[in-house]
Structure 1
Amino acid sequence: MLHAIVTVACLVWFTPILQLLAAALRTNPDTAASGWWNIFVDPLITLDNFAAAATVMRLGSTVPATLAMSIPAVILTVLLAAYGGHALSRWDFRGKGIVYAALVGLMVVPPQVTLAPLVQLFSAVGLTGNPAAVWLWSLGFTLPFGVFLMRGYMASLPEELIEAAKVDGASELRVFFQIILPLSAPILASLGILQFLWTWNDLLTPLIFVGPASANAPITLQLANLLQSQSGGATNLLSAGSLIAVLVPLIVIVSLQRYFVAGITAGAVKG
Structure 2
Amino acid sequence: MTTLQEAPPTVPAPPGRGAGPAARAAARLAGGASRIVLLVVGLFWLLPTVGLLASSLRGPVDIQQSGWWRVFTEPAQLTLHNYAALLSNDTVTGSLVNTVLITVPATVLVVLVASLAGYAFAWTEFPGRDWLFLAVVGLLVVPVQVALIPVSKLFGAIGVFGSITGVVLFHVAFGLPFAVFLLRNFFAEIPRELLEAARLDGAGELRLFLTVVLPLGGPAIASLAIFQFLWVWNDMLVALIFADAGSAPITVALQQQVRQFGNNIDVLSSGAFLSMVVPLVVFFAFQRQFVSGVMAGAVK
Contact 1:119 1:209 in 2 (8 A): yes
Contact 2:257 2:264 in 1 (8 A): no
Contact 1:82 1:147 in 2 (8 A): yes
Query: What are the superposed Cα offsets for residues 22-80 of structure 1, whole Å, 9 maximum, x if unpaired?
Result: 11112233233332212111222121112222234634433332211111111111111
Give yes or no for the alignment of 1:252 onto 2:282.
Answer: yes
Match of 1:266 in 2: 296
Match of 1:10 in 2: 42
What's the TM-score once normalised by structure 2's chain length? 0.84
Question: Which 4+ residue blocks in structure 1 deviate beyond 4 angstroms?
Answer: none
Contact 2:119 2:184 in 1 (8 A): yes
Q: Which has the larger radius of gyration?
A: 2
Query: What are the superposed Cα offsets for residues 166-221 of structure 1, whole Å, 9 maximum, x if unpaired?
Result: 1122111111112111111111111111111111111111221112x22x221112
- Amino acid paired to 2:294: I
* Counterpart Cα distance in 1 of 2:92 and 2:66: 31
Q: Find the residue that maps to 1:107 and give its secondary structure.
A: helix
Contact 1:69 1:135 in 2 (8 A): yes
Q: Choose which of 113, 133, 136 in structure 1 pairs with 2:169.
A: 136
Q: CA deviation at 1:240?
A: 0.8
* Counterpart Cα distance in 2 of 1:124 and 1:246: 35
Alignment of 1:1-271 (within 5 A): 1-43=33-75, 44-56=77-89, 58-211=91-244, 213-214=245-246, 216-228=247-259, 230-270=260-300
Greater relative contact order structure (CA < 8 Å, 6+ sep): 1
* Counterpart Cα distance in 2 of 1:112 and 1:6: 37
The gaps in structure 1 that reach 5 residues or longer are none
Q: CA deviation at 1:139?
A: 1.2
Query: What are the superposed Cα offsets for residues 105-138 of structure 1, whole Å, 9 maximum, x if unpaired?
Result: 2111101100101111001101012222122111
* Counterpart Cα distance in 2 of 1:16 and 1:130: 34
* Counterpart Cα distance in 2 of 1:35 and 1:65: 33
* Counterpart Cα distance in 1 of 2:68 and 2:56: 10
* Counterpart Cα distance in 1 of 2:100 and 2:111: 16
- Amino acid paired to 2:41: A
**Relative to structure 2, which stretch is displaced further, 8-17 or 99-108?**
99-108
The change in CA–CA distance for 1:35 and 1:64 in structure 2 (over 3 A counts) is closer
Q: CA deviation at 1:157?
A: 1.1
The gaps in structure 2 that reach 5 residues or longer are 1-32
Identity of counterpart residues, as a percentage? 43
- Amino acid paired to 1:241: G
Q: CA deviation at 1:225?
A: 2.4
